[in-house]
Amino acid sequence: MSILGGFISVKTITYLMFCLFAIAAVGYGLGRITIKGVALGTAGVFIVALLFGCFFYNSLDAQLTVKVNGEAQSYTSNALKIVENMGLVLFVTSVGFIAGPKFFGNFKRNFKSYVLLGLIIILGGGIATVLCIYAGRALGLCENNAELTAMMAGLLSGALTSTPAFSAAKASVASEYESAVAVGHGIAYIFGVIGVVLFVQLVPKFVHANMDEERKKAVAVASVDKIYDPSKFIKLDDFSFLPFAAAAVLGIFVGSIKIPLSGDGFGGTCFSLTTTGGCLLVALLIGHFGHIGKINLMPTEHTLKVFRELGLMLFLIGAGVAGGASFVKYFNVWYFIFGVFMTILPMIIGYFFAKYVLKLSLFNNLGSITGGMTSTPALGTLIHVTKSEDVASAYAATYPVALIAVVLITQFIIILF
């Protein structure tokens, strides 16, 4: 079997599949363990993937290293990226379809709140980063300020699990400091995932929330924009794979469109919605309208839930295995502490701002925080915790604002410091 110019045997592909399913099986088992009402849930898969990356990455790498023109070349990172991106497309497209019927009405009613909250959360992350830059200088962690700033920019992108911010940071620093950005991103990414997942579970317990009452408030806010009977429309296939696949294809295309922000046109720094933003936007729009003429474009609820969970699982495995390998190689306790700080401070600021200034209900508050933190895994956890799909609307409304803001603030920090 040929892959990217090399040859990988069916046995090797089978080994990769075995690893993926083994991680999933053990991870879901770990996620079921509940301590005082708190469980990792699907994030258990991420923990196991990290451990796999720490201890077995070299074994996987040996299987995915092939001879190309007489030289050994590893395709491990590419394989894991394929798994991660496949999962991301499945998850985000599903979330877009689920939130679509309620999104635009909710966004119209709470537009100012979502924009403000998204900006406040990212601003909190920026403030945390600046404080860490000064602390890093005082501790003498890097040889020069440029390298330290690059490291902190990477930590910020990891703390917010933001691939666009990571790309923008790499494009904005000098070439010799790109590795520092990558290291920072890898170190902070781990808590960036786990921290938000735990936050959305612990907050309802700390405030002794009445989940039934909060669920009613979320439903009231996220009322359906329009109601139509799917049975009156023509189904394209029994499981609605066709409209889902079409939305994913169009979303990937939209996400790949690049808008120059600085530098020499497309040779400089560019902004794009990325695969995440593109698939989310397209699925939201299709989910809002639901049909074209007599043709039903809405996938079935069962299909969306299966794809959402499968996508989240694949995303966490792909990101977790790669992150585990980087974590061991480049770990520094101070960088890890800084990454934790960059994750926690924006969430705390965002939560209290949403609660006391914007007066958002708890579920909308937490849904917006997952969007503001650009945290895909946390949204999956929040849906399970609240037993409500309506939180996806708050995530989808805040996410685009945070996506743009985190890219810009990352670049500003690099320029100014």
Question: What confidence tens digit (pLDDT) does each residue in 371-397 have?
Answer: 888 787 788 788 888 887 778 778 877
Residue 104 confidence (pLDDT): 74
More confident residue, 296 or 215: 296
Residue pair 112/329 in contact (Cβ under 8 Å)? The answer is no
Exposure of 417 by Cβ count < 10 A (0-12 exposed, 13-18 middle, 19+ buried)?
A: middle
Residue 329 confidence (pLDDT): 65
pLDDT reading at 2 higher than 50: no
Ranked by mean pLDDT, the top range of 175-189, 231-245, 343-357 is 343-357
Task: Pick the range with the lowest mean pLDDT from 83-97, 129-143, 267-281, 326-340.
Answer: 267-281
Whole-model pTM: value is 0.70
More confident residue, 309 or 12: 309
User: Cα torsion at 266, 182, 249, 273 (round to 10°)?
Assistant: -60
pLDDT reading at 129 higher than 60: yes
pLDDT band, residue 174 (cuts 50/70/90): confident
Residue 339 corresponds to which amino acid?
G
More confident residue, 51 or 72: 51
Question: What confidence tens digit (pLDDT) does each residue in 43-61 have?
Answer: 788 788 888 988 888 888 8
Exposure of 347 by Cβ count < 10 A (0-12 exposed, 13-18 middle, 19+ buried)?
A: buried
In terms of Cα–Cα distance, which of 379, 375, 365, 377 is closest to 217?
365
Task: Pick the range with the lowest mean pLDDT from 113-127, 140-154, 252-266.
Answer: 252-266
**Beta partners for residue 259, in sequence order:** 271
The 10 Å CB-count burial string (b at 16+, else e) for 47-84 is bbbbbbbbebbeebeebbbbeeeeeeeebbeebbeebb
Residue 162 confidence (pLDDT): 75
Which helix (H) or strand (E) element contains residue 65? Answer: strand 65-68
More confident residue, 192 or 349: 349
Residue 341 confidence (pLDDT): 93
In terms of Cα–Cα distance, which of 300, 24, 9, 322 is closest to 185?
322
Question: What confidence tens digit (pLDDT) does each residue in 266-321 have?
Answer: 555 666 777 777 887 888 888 888 888 888 888 888 888 889 889 888 887 887 78
For the chain, the structural domain boundaries read: 89-311+328-416
At CA 253, angle to CA 283 and CA 400, rounded to 5? 55
Residue 416 confidence (pLDDT): 79
pLDDT reading at 35 higher than 90: no
